[in-house]
Amino acid sequence: DQQVKQNSPSLSVQEGRISILNCDYTNSMFDYFLWYKKYPAEGPTFLISISSIKDKNEDGRFTVFLNKSAKHLSLHIVPSQPGDSAVYFCAASPTFGNEKLTFGTGTRLTIIP
Amino acid sequence: NAGVTQTPKFQVLKTGQSMTLQCAQDMNHNSMYWYRQDPGMGLRLIYYSASEGTTDKGEVPNGYNVSRLNKREFSLRLESAAPSQTSVYFCASSDGWGQGWGEQYFGPGTRLTVT
**How confident is the model over A66-87, as pLDDT tens digits?**
999 999 999 999 999 999 999 9
In this complex, do B108 and A41 lie within 8 Å of one another by their Cβ atoms? yes
In this complex, do A106 and B45 lie within 8 Å of one another by their Cβ atoms? no
Residue A95 has pLDDT above 80, yes or no: no
| Strand blocks (E) in B8-109 | 10-13, 19-25, 31-38, 42-49, 56-57, 64-68, 74-78, 87-94, 104-106
**How confident is the model over A96-113, as pLDDT tens digits?**
556 778 999 999 999 999
Cβ atoms of B38 and A94 closer than 8 Å: no
Residue A58 has pLDDT above 50, yes or no: yes
- Residues of chain B short of pLDDT 70, as ranges, are 96-102
Please name the amino acid found at residue B100.
G
Q: Among B44, B96, B109, whose Cβ lies nearest the Cβ of A99?
A: B96
pLDDT at A100: 79
pLDDT at B36: 97
Cβ atoms of A33 and A64 closer than 8 Å: yes
Hey, is A83 helix, strand or coil? helix
Cis peptide before A79 (omega within 30 of 0): yes
Chain A's closest residue to B31, CA to CA, is A99
* Test the B interface: residue of A101, A102, A108 with most B CBs within 10 Å: A101
Cβ atoms of A27 and A90 closer than 8 Å: no
Identify the CA nearest to A38 among candidates B28, B114, B90.
B90
**How confident is the model over A2-23, as pLDDT tens digits?**
899 999 999 999 999 999 999 9
pLDDT at B97: 56
pLDDT at B40: 82
pLDDT at B96: 65
To the nearest whole percent, how much of chain A has pLDDT over 90?
A: 80
Chain B's closest residue to A47, CA to CA, is B103
